Each structure stands twice: as structure tokens, then as C-alpha cells.
Structure 1
Amino acid sequence: MADSRIDFTAEWIPSKKEQKNSKRENPIQVRITKAVLETGETELLVSNLEESKFSTEDLVTLYGMRWGVEEGIKNLKPRIKVEQFGCRKPVGIYQEFYAHILAMNMVALTGMAAGKEIKKKNAKRKLTYKYNWKNTFLHLRAKIVKLFIRECVVKILDNLIIKVALNLVAVKKGRKFPRKDTDEPTRVNQYYK
């Protein structure tokens, strides 16, 4: 941050812990780009993208586009507890991981299916609303086994869509939250299932 340049290349030397984890001791050439946000905050974007191929504006645009990916990771890690496997063997870990991905996709599909009901509820409201991911996951988790072993799948799905449409969250455009500078761990739950 102290460097006055907006876009420059620097040498990053991994710390002892990073060297141990990544088994990489050599310094790495990284591109550092400063992006000024609408709030006036300056973000440091660190990448290995070449200046000749990606302009500063391109990196700022990419930074904004990453939000959907970060939200997906936020759902995957602490909410589904994807890092907390009940198995020790690789085959079991793969099965659990793919089951988590299936659950995430089913939540998204359920939210999309509830879209028509949500749209009806939004018709007379000032704000736009969307389905609540966490509540949708909880409702789906309670019914997921029944979806695969029962013949009345349509009835279960219709009931699930009604429940999802009842738990909405407001979508506020331009909503920003200040970042907190803290040394506290960011992991929500460190306990095994």
C-alpha cells in the first residue's frame, strides 16, 4: 500500500509456514494492482496475469465478477461443512464432496423453481426479494432422502417450493458492508460432524 504505483510487479517471498505448506521456497513474481472502490477504499489485487493481456480496468472488472464464486465458497465451506469429512479414505471423501456439490445444485434448482412464487410475492413490494439459501438448504436436507425413495416426488417438491417461497431475503442494490480488521479466525465451525 505504501508504494505509489497503481499497477506493478513485485517479488513475493513465501513465509516459513507457506513454504512448508506449499513446498515452494523460491520467490514468486506477482502483479499488484490497486483498485479504488466506490466507497473510496483501496483494494490490493494480487495476480499472475500479464499487464500486456489484462489492463487495470480488466482486473477491477474481474474482481467484481468474483462475487458469485465467493458466495458459492461461503455456502460450501461453513454451511455445508465441506472440509469436515466423516471418511478417511479418498473414495469416501470424493463421495462426500460430490454429495455436497449435488446438495448445492439442488438448493439452487429449488430456489429457481420457487422463482414464480417469489415473483408473485414481490409484485407489490418496494424491494426485490430472493430465496434464503440457508433455509432452503435446511428444508431440502430434511426431504432429500424422501426425494430419492418415494413415488410422490411432485408433492414433496411442491411442498418444498412453498416453504422456500415463505423464507425470503431482501436484495438491496448497492449494499455495502464495512470490512473489519481482526485477527480472529474466520472459520465458523471447526468441529467435526
Structure 2
Amino acid sequence: MIYDRGYNAFLMDTMLYNANQFKALYHLRWCVEENYKRLKQWVEIENFSGKSALSVRQDFHAKIVSANLTALMALAAQKQVQSRTKMHHYVYRVNFAQALSKMKHTLIALIQQAAVGVKALIEQTTHYIAMTFEAVRGGRHYARKFSHKLKNNGHCNQWVTA
């Protein structure tokens, strides 16, 4: 519900809002939702090493820093991938899950070597990330088959697709 000019307006009110407006908003929000998915699934942003407020804050910020550094490395690696695959049929992109995996092992070394310089390690890691890429096959769309079964996972009920 939103409040407009002193009266209540419901988003379901088709006289005020048509479906095309929501479609446009949904598409604008898509990249944000994809980033949430990446943070939850790949970075495991909801898993913490401790239970105190301090440990949760530290883990959260460390994971965000790690994801941002990985994104920077992947951006640099993507340039290498593009130059290496420009004659191929498909467009290729860095495999971000593999990049995150590599950064888990590299991040500590980057911090430890900050005083002596990290240029060689950054170049080595970027080169490694550039070696793990995948084809982007645009225009693929398959109809999803949903069978809504209620699954009890012990904590709450949720819809799952089979």
C-alpha cells in the first residue's frame, strides 16, 4: 500500500497502475536480485563464524570486501577472456563461482603481502581467473515445469520445484 495525496492507494488498483509499469520495474530490479542470489549462494553471506553481533558484522563486511575484490579481478580477467576468444563463435565470460573460489585462497595472501606489494599476485590471480570462463549462449529459453509440493524442512514450510 502506498499513500498518495492523503488517501490510500493499493498497488493492485488497476485504475492507477497497469501491468506494464510493474514489468518495467521488475526488469530494472533484476540485476539487484541476481546480486542478492550471488551473495547468498556463492558468497554464503548468511553463514557466520560466530554468534555475537561483532562476529556477524565482521563476517558480513569481510564477505562483501571479498566479493568486491573478486568482481574487480573478474573484470580485469574478462578483458583477457575477450581478447583470447574474440574469434570464437560464442561470447565468453569469466566463471564468477570459480573466481570466488580462487579468491578465498588468495585474499589472505593479498592482505599479508600488502606492505611488500601485491602486483605480481594480482596479475597471477587475474590470469588464473581468466582461464576459467564459459560460453554465453543468448536467446535460450525453456518453459519451466513446476510441480508445487509442500516440503517441510524442519524449520518452516516452503515451496520447492521438482
TM-score range, shorter chain: 0.7 to 0.9
Q: Identify the residue that residue 86 of structure 1 maps to in structure 2.
A: 49
| Residue 122 in structure 1 maps to residue 92 in structure 2 | no
Separation of aligned partners in 2, 1:183 and 1:110 = 41
Q: Identify the residue that residue 31 of structure 1 maps to in structure 2.
A: 11
Q: RMSD between aligned alpha carbons?
A: 2.6
CA offsets per residue over residues 136-171 of structure 1, 9 Å max, x none? 001111110010111241111111111111111122
Q: Identify the residue that residue 5 of structure 2 maps to in structure 1.
A: none
The TM-score with structure 2 as length reference comes to 0.75
| Residue 112 in structure 1 maps to residue 75 in structure 2 | yes
Separation of aligned partners in 1, 2:44 and 2:149 = 22
Task: Quote how far apart the aligned CAs of 1:94 are.
Answer: 0.9
| Residue 179 in structure 1 maps to residue 158 in structure 2 | no
| Residue 154 in structure 1 maps to residue 119 in structure 2 | yes
Task: Quote how far apart the aligned CAs of 1:78 are.
Answer: 2.2
Q: Identify the residue that residue 167 of structure 1 maps to in structure 2.
A: 132
Separation of aligned partners in 1, 2:108 and 2:10 = 47
Q: Identify the residue that residue 23 of structure 2 maps to in structure 1.
A: 60
Q: Give the direction of change, closer, same or farther, for the CA distance of 1:67–1:180 in structure 2 (3 Å limit).
A: farther
Q: Give the aligned length.
A: 142
Q: Share of identical aligned residues, percent?
A: 23
CA offsets per residue over residues 112-136 of structure 1, 9 Å max, x none? 1112211112210111111101000
Q: Which 5+ residue runs of structure 1 have no aligned equivalent?
A: 1-8, 10-28, 34-49, 188-193
Separation of aligned partners in 2, 1:134 and 1:184 = 30
Q: Give the direction of change, closer, same or farther, for the CA distance of 1:184–1:148 in structure 2 (3 Å limit).
A: farther
| Residue 133 in structure 1 maps to residue 96 in structure 2 | yes
Q: What is the 5 A alignment of 1:3-14?
A: none
CA offsets per residue over residues 11-70 of structure 1, 9 Å max, x none? xxxxxxxxxxxxxxxxxx85349xxxxxxxxxxxxxxxx974x64323112212322222
The amino acid that maps onto 1:173 is: G
Separation of aligned partners in 2, 1:120 and 1:184 = 48
CA offsets per residue over residues 62-98 of structure 1, 9 Å max, x none? 2123222222112111222221212111121111111
Q: Which 5+ residue runs of structure 2 have no aligned equivalent?
A: 2-8, 154-162
Separation of aligned partners in 1, 2:70 and 2:57 = 20
